[in-house]
């Protein structure tokens, strides 16, 4: 291999390496441009660019658009015209469903977690009663990370997970609806430089207020 060919090879390798380790994309699912192959079914690549969809570990080349499963695991894109779910924000959201099978419904993507990231945030609607309910499974690489509610919107909750250990690294983000997960609707996945801060519990705040009031009264009695 001559010098010019070697330089071309190295340049191509560097380009491929950079592309392979680019930042995670389409985290709000707004890059959807569904190409339908039958009624309510589109190619995964067009409906969820950059994402891999798996059911029971098997990659899916097609997913439902405004079409949802009954009693089986599934991943669906929610868009304009949906009569069951509505997008949480913008034009599109994603629904993960599992009503009691051992097969996970998962979405995943590999890319760089931005340097300096402390938290992974996402908006979600938990399962609708009386559907069975359970937590989502969030993984960075092969490690499950816990998450907590840190806020809320008009029709959704905001959750956050501490992912500071992976900041600046290329990792695979996987979000799964495991056994008895019900149906979780997801949107607006983001990375934040701020640490996870749980939403104040109203009961805790009430109790704290009562305790402070009690201490104040004791203080005033002692002053008299």
> Under DSSP, is residue 38 helix (H, G, I), strand (E, B) or coil?
strand
DSSP category for residue 153: -
Residue-averaged pLDDT of the chain: 81
Residue 183 contacts residue 95 (beta carbons within 8 Å): yes
Average pLDDT of the residues in 194-200: 76
> Under DSSP, is residue 10 helix (H, G, I), strand (E, B) or coil?
helix
Strands 170-177 and 41-43, by their bridges, are: unpaired
Domains located in the chain, CATH noted: 24-223 (2.60.120.260)
Residue 162 burial by Cβ neighbours in a 10 Å radius (0-12, 13-18, 19+): middle
> Would you place residue 21 in the very low, low, confident or very high pLDDT band (cuts 50, 70, 90)?
low
The number of residues making up the chain comes to 224
The string of pLDDT tens digits covering residues 205-219 is 344 344 334 433 443
Distance from C-alpha of 42 to C-alpha of 25, rounded to nearest angstrom:
20
Distance from C-alpha of 8 to C-alpha of 153, rounded to nearest angstrom:
51
% of the chain beyond a pLDDT of 90: 60
Indicate if the alpha-carbon torsion angle 132, 138, 144, 149 is positive or negative: negative
Q: Provide the pLDDT for residue 194.
A: 95
Residue 23 contacts residue 167 (beta carbons within 8 Å): no
Least confident of 2-6, 78-82, 111-115: 2-6
Q: Provide the pLDDT for residue 103.
A: 80
C-alpha angle 28-34-39 in degrees, rounded to nearest 5: 130
> Would you place residue 22 in the very low, low, confident or very high pLDDT band (cuts 50, 70, 90)?
confident
Least confident of 56-70, 189-203, 209-223: 209-223
Asked if residue 90 has pLDDT above 80, the reply is yes
Q: Which residue has the higher pLDDT, 193 or 15?
A: 193
With 0.85 as the threshold, say if the pTM is over it.
no
Start-end of H helices in the chain: 3-20, 44-47, 202-223
> Under DSSP, is residue 197 helix (H, G, I), strand (E, B) or coil?
coil
CA-wise closest residue to 180 among 76, 101, 78, 92: 101
Residue 143 contacts residue 208 (beta carbons within 8 Å): no
Least confident of 31-45, 52-66, 168-182: 168-182
C-alpha angle 122-129-51 in degrees, rounded to nearest 5: 35
């Amino acid at each position: 291999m001559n010098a010019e060919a070697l330089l071309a090879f190295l340049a191509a390798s560097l380009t491929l390496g950079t592309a392979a380790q680019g930042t995670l994309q389409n985290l709000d699912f707004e890059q959807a441009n569904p190409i339908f192959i039958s009624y309510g079914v589109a190619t995964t690549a067009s409906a969820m660019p950059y994402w891999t969809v798996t059911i029971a570990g098997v990659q899916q080349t097609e997913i439902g658009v405004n079409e949802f499963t009954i009693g089986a695991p599934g991943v669906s894109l929610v868009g304009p015209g949906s009569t069951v779910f509505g997008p949480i924000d913008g034009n599109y959201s994603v629904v993960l469903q599992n009503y009691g099978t051992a097969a996970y419904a998962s979405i995943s993507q590999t890319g760089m977690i931005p340097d300096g990231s402390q938290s992974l945030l996402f908006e979600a609607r938990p399962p609708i009663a009386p559907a069975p309910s359970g937590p989502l499974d969030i993984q960075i690489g092969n490690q499950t990370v816990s998450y907590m509610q840190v806020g809320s919107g008009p029709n959704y909750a905001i959750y956050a997970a501490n992912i500071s250990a992976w900041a600046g690294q290329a990792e695979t983000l996987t979000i799964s609806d495991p056994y008895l997960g019900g149906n979780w609707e997801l949107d607006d996945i983001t990375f934040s430089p701020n640490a996870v801060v749980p939403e104040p519990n109203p009961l805790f705040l009430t109790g704290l207020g009562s305790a402070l009031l009690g201490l104040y009264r004791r203080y005033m009695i002692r002053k008299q």
